[in-house]
Chain A
Amino acid sequence: MTDVVLKGRSVFPGSVAGEAVVLKTPFSFLGELSADSGKLSVADPEVSGVCVRDKILVCPSGKGSSGGPTVAWLAKQAGNAPLAIVCTEMEPVLALGVITAEIPAVDRLERDPVAVIKTGDWVALDGDVVRVTPRG
């Protein structure tokens, strides 16, 4: 399979690469990511419990209350934040999380990343460009 290259909007700049973890539902740092362990706690059993440290988190949007950016910051300081977030469309609290913690992030790609990217794919983010290398 060939790589897919998608251009989007840079939410926080950066250049990183890692394995994708794909969430099908909007993500909140508060309540869904342990800053202490980097593990997800979400309804989807395929990815719940997965540690996102050194991974690229892919999700449709954000949600949740004011503490989200604080958990993003705590996770980043502890080395447990995802390397980057690739998102269909940012929402204010998730956007504030990545801006506050300085986690590279991109949204508004030419195709919906939640549909294009599968958990385990290799994803490289460079500013507003995302390159997806399908697994296997």
Chain B
Amino acid sequence: MFLTTEEQRMAAGEYGPGMQRSMSLLVRYGELFGAERMVPVTQCHLSPDVPNDLLENLTEGVEKAATRCTLHPCLYPEAAEKMIRRPITPTDSIAEGYVTLDRDAYAVRMARFRQLGFLPTSTCVPYLIGFVPRKGDVLCLTGSSGQVISNSVFGARANREGHSSALASAVTGVTPQLGLLHDANRFAQVVFEVSQLDFSRFGIADYGALGYLVGSVAGTRNAALVGLPQRLTMEQCKYLMSPMPVSGGCALCHLVGITPEAATLEQALLGRTAEETVVVTPKDLDEVRQRLQTATGEAPDLVILGCPHLTIGELELAAASLHDRRVRTGVRLLLATAGPIQRLAQEAGFVDTIAAAGGEFADICVSVGNPLAYLTGVKTVMTNSARAAHYIQRMTNWKVKIVYADAGACLEAATSRSER
């Protein structure tokens, strides 16, 4: 693999041990997958749930990150305590020790991230709060919904990553040129023909089910969808794309006629022939919805919206439907969004309306790192997110049941009419 003089110096340890380890990791990774050189990274997005010793290992002696860096949500101790309404204890474990609730370790880690210049964004939707990927940008992102949305909706270039590779790229400012960073590798391999579906009656949960189906069939292959309505909102894109990397490992899905690299099917295929063409029927979607919904008539005791984090438009709709309602006794209603979006919603009056109805806000991950799902007696979760449904089923070993429906139905189930 070709390295510039500067990259060779990094690998030789001239900039300290953290830079050396980071560059060595990227070189080994790049050579394994046939990269010929490194390319500069436009933006990195990292989960703060990196073990402290791994963070130190890759950043030892590093003063500042080499590129713009933002942070993913994590379950910080204050947020966990506010949600579970009691102090956390050393035995509180989430997802088999994957998420740590150690207060001191968290403080040390966040201080180090700030020192390195990472912005404490705590959101999975950096693209909605000003970190907008542009066509051709090279992104190293943890959080697989950001990868597939950046690639597909924005036309930026992002590979699947690990926490360690994204951190190494933040330190060095480069990533090996492989996979989806090559224009020539961005062709669709599996084509989904969806014109049999009635989009005039399609809700968000239908878009999520379609995305879940695409991921499970595509696996790690690139996909294309043909026959969608010619205008999709950001919300529809968000719920369509975000399940693709969890039911499979799909990091790029062209929406023909909509997304930047797919004006036509021929363009999405880069002139090739599809490996597989799948005609999606309404029955297929019903079957997916049955896989996502594991509850059989139970009423939810936790309703969550915000996986991925809510847009200002979704908060506006939630406020409108909650103005004369109250959260039922024995039910929690949780809405997750990014801090800047919540502040805008506060200014616009949406937060007061939702809070008066009994809704709670959080800037954590409400699927993988949701303390209510693991640390309280919650039995049934209702959500409009296929991604959250998938993770909560698995991370609780199928103990927590799922009701899967549109946001309107979720809000209605969580609340009853009030005499305010």
Contacts and interface: CB of A to CB of B under 8 A. Distances in A.
A97 B29 CA distance: 10
A94 B202 CA distance: 37
6 tightest CB-CB pairs across the interface, nearest first? A69-B162, A96-B162, A66-B142, A100-B164, A36-B97, A65-B144
Contact of A95 (B29, B51, B395): B29
A96 to B, nearest CB: 4
A42 to B, nearest CB: 12
Contact of A65 (B25, B97, B245): B245
B49 A69 contact: no
Given A30-B98, A92-B33, A95-B29, A67 B159 contact: no
Interface of B: 25, 28-29, 32-33, 47, 49-51, 53-54, 93, 96-98, 142-144, 159-166, 179, 220, 245-246, 249, 368, 394-395
Nearest to B249: A63
A93 B51 contact: no
Please classify how large the interface on chain A is, using the bins under 10, 10 to 19, 20 to 34, 35 or more: 20 to 34
Given A36-B96, A65-B144, A70 B32 contact: no
Interface string A63-86: 111111111011001000000000
B19 to A, nearest CB: 16
A69 B164 contact: yes
Contacts of B161: 66, 92-93, 96
A77 B29 contact: no
A35 B50 contact: no
A134 interface: no
Given A35-B98, A70-B98, A63 B51 contact: no
B164 A92 contact: no
Interface string A86-109: 000011110111011000000000
A91 B220 contact: yes
A109 to B, nearest CB: 15
Contact of B160 (A31, A34, A36, A66): A66
Given A73-B51, A92-B33, A35 B249 contact: no
A18 B178 CA distance: 34
A28 B310 CA distance: 29
A65 B25 CA distance: 18
A11 B31 CA distance: 10
Contacts of A95: 29, 32-33
29 contacts: A31-B394, A36-B93, A36-B96, A36-B97, A63-B220, A65-B143, A65-B144, A66-B47, A66-B142, A66-B160, A68-B162, A69-B164, A70-B47, A70-B50, A70-B51, A70-B54, A70-B98, A71-B98, A74-B98, A77-B53, A91-B220, A92-B159, A96-B29, A96-B164, A96-B165, A99-B25, A99-B29, A99-B32, A100-B164
A67 B164 contact: no
